[in-house]
């Protein structure tokens, strides 16, 4: 565990991220990432290999930039109308990585509302955060969905 101030700062960082996603401010969301930062949503529980095993998303800043630009394109069919989301983050636990930033684990629930349908996403986030000024940047964010088996419908939002 870490001291109270650090834990508080980590929580504020995660809450800010959730707020930016809910507000649709995806460019500001991307700014939370290091230039070499990675967003990884594995397709299998406990997946360790992003190259030989398909991921739902395995993208660095450059590919994420395209994804974010698409979310802001008026022409994205799947975003017409734009989904509205509520990201809720909890059970936040922080470990010091001995001078290499912090390992953070959290549970999440996200309600997505679009047109006539409402969907519920949930799972666990794992972050590798590194200090940046008075806050952090994301070196790696891993999103493990609870529903990684069975059939998926398309997912256009970010978790």
Partner 1 sequence: MDQRMNHHAAHDAGALTADDIRGLVRPDHIHRRAYADEAVFALEQERIFGRLWIYVAHESQLKKPGDFVRTRLAQHEILVTRHNDGKIYVLVNRCPHRGARLCMVDQGTSRLFSCPYHAWVFRPDGSLSTVPHIKSYPQDFSTDDPQHHMARIENVQAYRGFVFATLNPDPPPLTDQIGPMTEVIDNLVDRAPDGEVEIADSSFTLEYRGNWKLHLENAADVFHPSFVHSSSVAPARRAPENASTIDGGQTREMLLANGFTTTDWERIELTGLSGGHTFMTNIYTQGALVNDDRDPVSARYKSALVAKIGPERAAAVLGVNRFNNIIYPNLVLNAQHQQMRVTIPISVDRTLVRVHCFRLKGAPDEMFHRAVRFLSTLGSPASMIFSDDVEMLERCQQGLAKDSEIWVDFSRGFDSDQRAGDGKVSGAASEMPMRNQFKAWVEYMTAEAA
Q: State which residue, 26 or 102, has the beta carbon closest to partner 1.
A: 26
Tell me the two tokens of residue 105: 């684990």
| Close Cβ partners of 69 (under 8 Å, ≥ 6 residues apart) | none
Polymer length of the chain: 159
Question: Peptide bond before 81: cis, by omega within 30 degrees of 0?
Answer: yes
Q: State which residue, 1 or 51, has the beta carbon closest to partner 1.
A: 51
Give the bridge partners for 131, in sequence order: 136
Contact segment (CB under 8 A) with partner 1 among 10-18, 26-34, 101-109, 145-153 equals 145-153
Site map 49..78 versus partner 1, x via CB under 8 A: --xxxxxxxxxx-xx-xxx-xx--x-xxxx
Q: Does 43 participate in binding partner 1 (rule CB under 8 A)?
A: yes
Q: What's the CA gap between 14 and 114, in Å, rounded?
A: 24
Q: State which residue, 20 or 57, has the beta carbon closest to partner 1.
A: 57
| Close Cβ partners of 145 (under 8 Å, ≥ 6 residues apart) | 41, 56, 121, 122, 123, 159
Q: State which residue, 22 or 59, has the beta carbon closest to partner 1.
A: 59
Contact segment (CB under 8 A) with partner 1 among 37-45, 91-99, 103-111, 133-141 equals 37-45
- 88 neighbors 110 (Cβ within 8 angstroms): yes
Binding test (CB under 8 A) with partner 1, winner from 11, 16, 24, 44: 44
Q: Does 110 participate in binding partner 1 (rule CB under 8 A)?
A: no
Q: What's the CA gap between 76 and 28, in Å, rounded?
A: 20
Contact segment (CB under 8 A) with partner 1 among 12-20, 26-34, 81-89, 149-157 equals 149-157
Residues lying near partner 1 in the complex (CB under 8 A) are found at: 36, 38, 41, 43-44, 51-60, 62-63, 65-67, 69-70, 73, 75-79, 149-156
């Amino acid at each position: 565990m870490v001291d109270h101030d650090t834990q508080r700062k980590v929580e504020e960082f995660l809450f800010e991220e959730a707020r930016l996603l809910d507000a649709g401010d995806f460019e500001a969301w991307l700014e939370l990432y290091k230039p070499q930062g990675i967003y990884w949503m594995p397709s299998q529980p406990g997946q360790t290999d992003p190259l030989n095993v398909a991921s739902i998303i395995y993208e660095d800043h450059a590919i994420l930039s395209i994804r974010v630009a698409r979310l802001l394109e008026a022409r994205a069919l799947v975003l017409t109308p734009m989904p509205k989301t509520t990201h809720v983050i909890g059970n936040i636990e922080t470990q010091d990585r001995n001078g290499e930033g912090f390992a953070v684990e959290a549970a999440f629930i996200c309600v997505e509302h679009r047109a006539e349908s409402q969907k519920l996403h949930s799972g666990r986030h794992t972050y590798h955060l590194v200090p940046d000024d008075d806050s952090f940047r994301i070196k790696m964010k891993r999103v493990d969905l609870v529903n990684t088996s069975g059939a998926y419908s398309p997912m256009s939002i970010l978790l």
